[in-house]
């Protein structure tokens, strides 16, 4: 998308401005939220509503909300982590891994996100990568509750077995 373009159509000033904004969004320089003036407070109010839907069992509706939030602000690790968790619960492991990985680009030491990505990697059969994430999460286990830690330890043992030569 080139706002100066060599096509025959001549863009007026408003159209050129809009095209520059879209180029900025496409290049990751700006988000839809920034372009349209949506505040972080407004986004987090919507996120709270989405989270409430999620915990009340309305995964599909929560998925729509968090996909929208990721679209308007793809840099927010919380939105990506929640969307990854929705995908994980729905069995969309590759999508979950992608969302967790993008969240970790911004918030690289979030133990729960690392643990969740490890679980998704394990469930999708990526045992070596799962092993790395699970070990990393369990090394920082103070952020994990006891039940979660025990579950991750079981996955870790299974991942070790799956990655050892027969």
Question: Are residues 104 and 163 both part of a single domain?
Answer: yes
Tell me if 6 is assigned to some domain: no
pTM of the model: 0.83
Residue 29's domain is classified under what CATH number?
1.25.40.10
Tell me if 7 is assigned to some domain: no
Q: Note the pLDDT of residue 6.
A: 56
Question: Are residues 64 and 104 both part of a single domain?
Answer: no
Question: Are residues 64 and 108 both part of a single domain?
Answer: no
Cα–Cα distance for residue pair 116/154, rounded to 1 Å: 14
Q: How many CA atoms lie within 13 A of 37 on its CB side?
A: 0
Query: How confident is the prediction for the chain on average, in pLDDT?
Result: 90
Tell me if 121 is assigned to some domain: yes
Q: Assess whether pLDDT exceeds 90 at residue 149.
A: yes
Which structural domain, as residue segments, surrounds residue 53? 13-75
Total number of domains in the chain = 2
Q: What is the DSSP secondary-structure string of 16-57?
A: HHHHHHHHHHHTTSS-HHHHHT--HHHHHHHHHHHHHHHHTT
Question: Are residues 23 and 71 both part of a single domain?
Answer: yes
Confidence of residue 10 (pLDDT cuts 50, 70, 90): confident
Confidence of residue 81 (pLDDT cuts 50, 70, 90): very high
Question: Are residues 107 and 142 both part of a single domain?
Answer: yes
């Amino acid at each position: 998308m080139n706002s100066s373009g060599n096509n025959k159509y001549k863009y007026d000033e408003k159209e050129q401005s809009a095209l520059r904004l879209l180029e900025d969004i496409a290049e990751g320089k700006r988000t839809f939220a920034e372009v349209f003036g949506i505040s972080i407070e407004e986004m987090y109010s919507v996120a709270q509503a989405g989270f409430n839907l999620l915990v009340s069992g309305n995964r599909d509706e929560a998925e729509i909300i968090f996909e929208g939030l990721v679209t308007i602000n793809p840099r927010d690790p919380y939105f990506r982590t929640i969307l990854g968790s929705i995908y994980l619960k729905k069995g969309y492991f590759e999508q979950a891994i992608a969302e967790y990985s993008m969240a970790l680009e911004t918030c690289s030491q979030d133990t729960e996100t690392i643990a969740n990505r490890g679980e998704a990697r394990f469930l999708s059969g990526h045992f070596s990568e799962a092993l790395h994430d699970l070990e990393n999460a369990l090394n920082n286990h103070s952020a994990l509750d006891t039940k979660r830690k025990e579950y991750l330890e079981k996955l870790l043992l299974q991942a070790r077995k799956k990655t050892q030569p027969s």
